[in-house]
Amino acid sequence: MEQSKKNTGRWLLPALFIALCSLIRAQETGEKNQSIGYLFNDAHFHLTNYIQEGTDISVYVNQIMGDKIGRSTLFGLPLQQQWSYRVTGDFAPTYYLDTDAHLYYYSFTDAFIAMAYKSLPKEQQLRLDPMITGFNPTDMYAAAHIRRVLLTFPGVFSGVGEFTIHKEFVSSKIEGDVASFYDPAVDSILDFCAEAGLVALIHNDIDNPFPKPGKPNYLDGMKDLVRRHPNTTIIWAHAGMGRVVAPLKDMAVLLGQLLSDPDYQNLYFDISWDEVAKYILTNETTISNSANLINKYPDHFLFGTDNVAPASQEKHIQIYHIYEPLWNLLTPEAREKILKTNYERLFDKARTDVRAWEKAHMK
């Protein structure tokens, strides 16, 4: 009998261990399957608009992201639209095209985003990657602002942007200096991003809204900027396209040349915004060219909505469904990367690196 109990004990412990391991694997598999159930991660999202109003953050996470979006960047708009009574009288503009009055940089947006993020339960915070936007890229103190935000709100931010260098109809409305690729202030921002591990999301139109024949005005400058900052992860918003800034002839060939060059291995493109979708989906040729490019360089593209303060989940994810003809031409690997895993790779690394920088620099 004594020997029988010993034998039973020897058998029981391994069996319990195997059962426990199976339970853990089942839980991990369930979490993985839940993640797979998401449609996409959103690499480009504005919680607030040009008058700093927007969607309640709890509504955004629970109802708009819901079970359709895994993770999302989170930023406001760095610019505030002035309400000049002399210009529009009692009409209060809410968008930069509503009035000729100036736009000005609005630094409080970073504190607002941080406090909104911190109001959420921890498990909901983990679905968001807030970005710092409230700085003037022509100001040599911009990097100091970014540093101050990190140390004031440790554990919150993963990147900077979307910030603008050249943007149709917007750049000319901003009070003060005009942003430039060759401004030391922009270099100091990207240098600090490399130091702290922050992802940099930059809006830069590849050309003027109504270009003249010849070389695009803003391509070489962007290429120079990326080359000068090889240790900074740079996402080129909208792949350089805009509301009326159309893609260049042979745009896919041009982007392919950049991505095949070792000097641009830190460069990524997002294809956010329904205005960009209209160019990619123009016809079968443009869809095919875009798909072939993404299939060839699947590690360098991300998807985002570029929505501003959405009112409903249906409206928010509409851009994902608009892109269905493109998704259908992607390989399974490329589709998974552009919609999910490229985001996770870049922002998981940023979270780790920025938290380490904060820990090393907190007093």
Residue 336 CA to residue 327 CA, distance in Å, equals 10
Residue 150 CA to residue 199 CA, distance in Å, equals 13
- Residue 211's CB is within 10 A of a number of other CB atoms, namely 16
Q: What is the mean pLDDT of residues 327-354?
A: 98
DSSP H/E element including 12: helix 2-36
Percentage of the chain modeled with pLDDT above 90: 85
pLDDT tens, position by position, 7-62? 444 444 444 444 444 444 434 433 443 446 899 999 999 999 999 999 999 999 99
How many CA atoms does the CB half-sphere of 274 hold within 13 Å? Answer: 10
Tell me the two tokens of residue 322. Answer: 């608009």
Cα dihedral sign for 180, 186, 187, 188? positive
Residue 25 CA to residue 21 CA, distance in Å, equals 6
Beta bridge partners of 103: 81, 174
Q: Please work out, in degrees rounded to the nearest 5, the angle formed at the alpha carbon of residue 339 by the alpha carbons of 335 and 342.
A: 100
Residue 294 CA to residue 298 CA, distance in Å, equals 5
What DSSP state is assigned to residue 64? I
pLDDT tens, position by position, 122-162? 999 999 999 999 999 999 999 999 999 999 999 999 999 99
Q: Which amino acid is at 230?
A: P
pLDDT of residue 6: 44
What value does the mean pLDDT of the chain take? 91
For 200, phi then psi, to 5°, come to: -115, 120
Residue 192 CA to residue 132 CA, distance in Å, equals 13
